[in-house]
Chains A and B, each alone.
Chain A
Amino acid sequence: MFDATLHTLPHKPGVGYKPQHYSDITARPGPLGWLEIHAENYMGDGGRPLAQLRHLSEHFPISVHGVGLSIGGEGRLDPDHLTRLKHLVGWLNPASFSEHLAWSTHDSHFLNDLLPLPYNAATVTRVADHIDEVQTALGRKMLLENPSSYLAFAESDMSETDFLKEVVARTGCGLLLDVNNVFVSATNLGFTPQGYIDAFPLEQVGEIHLGGHDEDQDDDGAPLLIDSHGREVADPVWALLEYTLDRSGAKPLLIEWDTDVPEWPVLAAEIARAAGALNAVPA
């Protein structure tokens, strides 16, 4: 029977799924309302990854989050990768599909990182064209995620929020707001994170990400934050989440933890904190 609740992300906490947590998640999900997977990890032909995903998708709404499409790339989208993505999204029929405002492939070489792009008229057109192509191929609306930035381009002549608004206006895509990325970029590039949230089109946000960052220093001894997804969400990022939810209302809220992945109770505590933040949002 088609269960519509499995095909919409609820305004509840979700978590980036790691196979080592399979038993914990299925045995005692607690306030966990949905799961996010990285698309590329489920592009094999079969075996345990796909069997687990099939099982989980019968119990949780699934968000498919791509990390390899290279939407900001100068070259054309890899047609083979788009075909694999279309196959995955086709059989899984997930509650959401999202990708990054970034590039990762150059000259058919995949660099396995989310690399930055300048913000100007030429790059708006490139990104919008690629999003059109993805949405047409998948037959669904996608969400585009704001990046974490370590540097800016001299050739940029638009703010990131204006860039995202223009992409939304041209393509009809939605947005994935990563508040940790906002905090990381704001610290690294010297703007106020609250000002970024004020300028962000919150009505377009279909999902919010929260993750941990590391602290380093740049050449001048200024703080340089690294988006590592390897620890708890920092307190000022929780505060920025509260600031955001006060303005946006409740949203699906994801805890991301991708490196040095801890035992389930550590993630469960983060999920409980996210649930608390959502409960504090006025209805």
Chain B
Amino acid sequence: MTVSQKDFTAGILDPTRPAPEGLLDGKGAQTSKRFDVYRNNVAVSLTDALVAAFPVIYKLVGDEFFRAMAGVYLRTHLPDTALMMYYGDKMPQFLKRFPPAQSLAYLPDVARLEIALRESYHAGDATPVSADVLGTLAPEALMAARISLSPALRIVRSSHPIFGIWQSNMIADAPALVKRAENVLVTRPQFDPTPHLISDADADFITALQRGHALGVAMSKAGQGFDLGALLGLLLRQGAMTHIS
């Protein structure tokens, strides 16, 4: 009697199935309680990985809801690598369709922000350009310049107040939540990813830079009301520019 790893896996993931035959306790008797140890280890370790990945979602929905949701997620979205730091990358799409979360329309976008923060934490290192580099360029050269951004930079756009939700769950004395659309820029000055609230124009400008457009073109994408100086200052202070050509 052989127990294939296919059957072992199926048994672990479906608690309603009997334990595979051919698994014995110390006295040589069939055992199910001992198989439950593995069932429990797998479910708990994957759930704990999701709790670590989504601290804001966890606070928003509470322990009981989160663990029940994680139990459904892990059975439909097993990790495809052993890199637990990236586990949960399908959470936004999952939450969009998860029936019990339908009344919490902002959850998928909060999940996207938490994924962006975690990706930023583990992103590659890059040396930022010095703060005075832009001042050395003539205006025409500045408009023609192409700016490379840090591998740790992320932008998350949302029609929900995701920056306010993040702040009110992660920071003491956060300002009151305003019901509005919010975009978040994530930078990583050294090791700690930092979210910043940015306008649509800021987000459009950065997206244009990411696509390789020259600074002048990116400005035109940003449109009216865009404050170039303020945004470039933020990017420089945050060490988010890695190359100018």
A: which residues have CB within 8 A of B?
A: 40-41, 43-51, 67-70, 73-74, 78, 80-81, 84, 103-113, 115-116, 118, 150-155, 188-191, 218-220, 222, 224, 226
Contacts and interface: CB of A to CB of B under 8 A. Distances in A.
Contacts of B4: 74
A218 B80 contact: no
A70 B84 CA distance: 15
Given A78-B82, A107-B9, A151-B35, 11 more contacts: A45-B122, A45-B125, A46-B125, A50-B125, A67-B82, A111-B9, A113-B41, A152-B24, A188-B26, A188-B34, A190-B27
B6 A46 contact: no
Given A107-B9, A110-B78, A151-B35, A47 B26 contact: no
B38 A40 contact: no
Interface of B: 1-6, 8-9, 12, 22-28, 31-35, 37-38, 41-42, 45-46, 49, 78-85, 120-125, 151-152, 188, 191-192
Nearest to A39: B82
B216 to A, nearest CB: 31
A51 B31 CA distance: 46
17 contacts: A45-B124, A45-B125, A47-B121, A48-B121, A68-B81, A68-B83, A104-B82, A109-B78, A111-B42, A111-B78, A113-B41, A150-B35, A151-B31, A152-B24, A153-B24, A154-B23, A155-B22
B2 A112 contact: no
A105 B81 CA distance: 9
Nearest to B191: A48
Contacts of B12: 111, 115
B85 A44 contact: yes
A150 B123 contact: no
Given A47-B191, A218-B34, A81 B82 contact: yes
